[in-house]
Amino acid sequence: MTTSIEETLVLVKPDGVARNLTGRILARIEAKGYQIVDLRMVQADRALLAQHYAEHEGKPFYEPLVEFMESGPVVAARVAGHRVIEGFRSLAGTTDPTTAAPGTIRGDLGRDWGLKVQQNLVHGSDSPESAARELALWFD
Ligand code: GDP
Ligand code: MG
């Protein structure tokens, strides 16, 4: 299968940074063969998070999600490779870390902490359109 090189936005969320898992998470991305082509640590403000999570506005978990995401720094990575958008989503595992498959980042390193938001360590763009939109928010 031939595909052109894609880019995706990965965020190590505040729980991942606070638990000192940034290096392990980035190492897993590199070990799978993807390229980290840009990297920054960001204290996100509400305006940035409102744009980033616009699709979830109005949902019950939206407010706790934004509060969680602004609770501490995140590490934003621009990651490149063939089919990296679906590849990173697969590496991250499903949204709920309690049931995310072992072998995935969320499944191996995450769990439910009894909080109002799923602290699931990472974000990854879910489509080429989301990736372009989110990379522009976090990197341009
Ligand atoms: P993702 O693409 O797998 O990150 O999941 P979504 O885009 O659906 O949701 C964004 C983020 O909101 C997730 O990563 C979780 O941190 C949080 N979240 C999503 N759904 C729920 C939910 O049903 N309950 C709670 N508490 N948090 C959620
Ligand atoms: Mg999503």
Give the chain's domains with CATH numbers.
6-139 (3.30.70.141)
Is 95 marked as a binding-site residue? yes
Measured between alpha carbons, how far is 124 from 23 in angstroms, rounded to an integer? 17
pLDDT in tens, 42-60: 999 999 999 999 999 999 9
pLDDT surpassing 80 at residue 75: yes
The tokens describing 41, both together, are 């640590």
**pTM as predicted:** 0.97
Q: Please tell me the residue having the least CA distance from ligand 1 atom 17.
A: 118
Cα distance between residue 32 and residue 9, in whole Å: 16
What pairs with residue 104 in β-bridges?
102
56 in active site: no
Tell me how far the alpha carbon of residue 134 lies from the centroid of ligand 1, in angstroms. Answer: 16
CA of 52 to the centre of ligand 2 (A): 10
Provide, rounded to the nearest whole percent, the portion of the chain with pLDDT above 70: 99
Structure ipTM over 0.85, yes or no: yes
20 labelled ligand-binding: no
pLDDT digits (tens, 9 = 90+) for 110-137: 999 999 999 999 999 999 999 999 999 9
Mean pLDDT of 92-98: 98
Q: What angle do CA 42, 79, 40 make, to 5 degrees?
A: 20
Test site for ligand 1: of 109, 117, 119, 126, most ligand atoms within 8 A of the Cβ:
117
**How far apart (Å, rounded) are the C-alpha atoms in residues 26 and 34?**
10
Q: What is the mean pLDDT of the chain?
A: 97
Q: How far is the CA of 139 from the centre of ligand 1 (A)?
A: 22
pLDDT given for residue 86 in this prediction = 98
Residue 68, annotated as binding a ligand: no
